[in-house]
Amino acid sequence: MTFSFGNTKAFVRFFLLAIILVTVFSFGAMVQAYAGDAATTSTNTSAVKQASSNSNQIYRTVVQERVVIQRGDTIWEIASLHKKSGENIRSYIDKIKTINHLTTSALQEGQVLILPGS
């Protein structure tokens, strides 16, 4: 079996095309996985298993509200809009920072914050 220059050239083109397609589709999948939706807020529900005193399993749903940071948003403004009535805003900000592993109050446009549950 002998290869001519034309076959080698075709194989190289096919191989490069395959690499480019795999790269493009992988990048698209990553963008789709991390982008989320474009809405300002969304909810994410997950079932949490909680054991009762009589060893029966009780399932309850925990709703975690998420906020996508827009230009000009501040953590103080977000906390004041989403905290419970009568709750101290500084303690609510501390909860937000703890849940989201934030060391400062600086936010970036497009960042997604998980808000403390009720």
pLDDT in tens, 15-73: 999 999 989 888 887 777 776 544 444 444 444 444 444 456 666 666 678 999 999 99
Mean pLDDT computed over 1-13 = 73
Q: Is 20 exposed, middle or buried (0-12, 13-18, 19+ CB in 10 A)?
A: exposed
Tell me the average pLDDT of the chain. 78
Alpha helices, H only, 61-107: 75-82, 89-99
pLDDT of residue 95: 92
What tokens were used for 54?
A: 């009589």
Neighbours of 111 (CB within 10 A): 14
Residue 94, pLDDT > 70, answer yes
Q: pTM here?
A: 0.49
Our CA angle for 24, 29, 110, nearest 5°, is 110
